[in-house]
Amino acid sequence: MIISSVGVGTDKDSYKAGREACTQAMSGIPADQKINLLIVFGSTSYDQDRLVAGVSETIPDALLIGCSSAGEISSQGFSTEKSVVVMAIATDQMRFWGSMGNHILWNPQQAGDDYANTLQYESHGYVTSSLVFVDVLSGGGDKTLLGVTTKLGDDFPLFGGAATDDLLFFETYQYYQGKAYKGSIVGVGISGDYLAVGVSGHGFLPIGMSRKVTKSEGTTLFELDEKPASSIYKDYLGEEYSGQLHDGLLPSLAISYPLGIYSQQNNNVVLRNPIFVDQKGSMTFTAEIPPGSEIRLMISDIEQGLETTKTIAEEVLAKLGGRQPKAVVVINSISRKKMLGPHVDEEIELIQRIFGRDVPLIGFYSYAQIDKQPSEETPLHNGSLLIWALAE
């Protein structure tokens, strides 16, 4: 048995909003069933500690994970005002193991390593998949996830997203066991009799000629074709628009036009959004940009974006093999939110039509999406939509 329910809190008081959302979620679970897991996404407009306390103190015995967001998604649609969304899950055929790794700023790979070690220790090695939420502003998100996969194995199913802060690009929060942390990776390991399926995609298409990375170090891209990295925007969009890049933080321009890195291993394109651009034209990302990579500017539109959503949702349903989803988690990108604009609710309605409107759904808009499949070269994506579904 797997039962889930979703609640939304919009009270102006942080604690009351958390309690409101959790109480709603709890009301959809039969009183004789114990709630095992709470998944929480909340706006940074709230006091994060008070928000999480409002949720955890309502159901203190349940494992709590989640993160801050740049827009909350639920079965009710996209929240047009600041909110917190909570999914409660009760089951008698699964086990949930919580874990956390800290200090991503100092050593991101060690943080991931710590997360994986705790999961293995607590589950006695029985954990079979994981849903994680990570800070990518403090350090390279790919390094953090490398720490996880190095310990748990390259074929270990790993899904999740990067916490956001309403596009402030200052600091994000990760929720774990009644507290809001910064610079951390948190999540849940799962074992038992269940099926978890995740599928991601982006729907962006390349424009213009490809460029070669001629100078990069870690997550910083210095040069493309021996020219300042940000020149790719200047050449295609003009001086007036590219000038928006040099205000220190990621503007709407770069969100709308992510960069695509061609992967020879899988013959596909991985998207990357710059989170910082300096006056010299160097750009910083949430993951490493390998020297010699082929880079292209990417673009999409509403029609293509919604078609990608339909394809992803149908693929998830196909992978479930006829099993009815009991819970759906949608981890969307800020690029797709910007691209869809006032049509974001259409995307959620489309997902609900495919899975069924009675299937509980929760999600948020993130700085990165995590989808580690056995054939994938990298688990960290930008500009993408990830749909994760849980079934018996």
Q: What is the pLDDT of residues 360-378, one digit of tens each?
A: 999 999 999 999 876 666 7
Most confident by average pLDDT, 14-28, 78-92, 197-211:
14-28
Would the pLDDT of 121 be above 60?
yes
- What pLDDT score was predicted for residue 392? 96
**Interatomic CA distance for residues 382 and 259, integer angstroms:** 9
Give the model's pLDDT for residue 277: 82
- Judged against a pLDDT cut of 80, whether residue 103 lies above it is answered with yes
Considering the chain, what percentage of its residues have pLDDT values greater than 90?
Answer: 71
Segment 311-325 mean pLDDT: 97
* Between 5 and 125, the higher pLDDT residue: 5
Please give the average per-residue pLDDT across 94-114, as a whole number: 97
- What pLDDT sits at residue 211? 94
Report the distance separating Cα 66 and Cα 48, nearest Å: 11
Read off the pLDDT of residues 124-139 as tens digits, 9 standing for 90 and up: 999 999 999 999 999 8
pLDDT of residue 249: 45
Q: Which amino acid is at 243?
A: G
pLDDT of residue 242: 61
Q: What is the mean pLDDT of residues 111-134?
A: 96
Q: For residue 54, what pLDDT band results from cuts at 50, 70 and 90?
A: very high
E-only strand ranges, 10-109: 37-43, 63-69, 72-74, 77-78, 84-91, 94-101
Cβ atoms of 275 and 247 within 8 Å: the answer is no
> Could you report the per-residue pLDDT of 215-260, keeping only the tens digit for each?
999 889 999 999 999 888 888 877 666 666 655 444 566 778 889 9
| Best CA proximity match to 130, nearest among 185, 190, 194 | 190
State pTM to two decimals.
0.94
What's the mean pLDDT in 104-124? 95
Ordered by start, the domain boundaries in the chain are: 2-201+305-391, 205-299
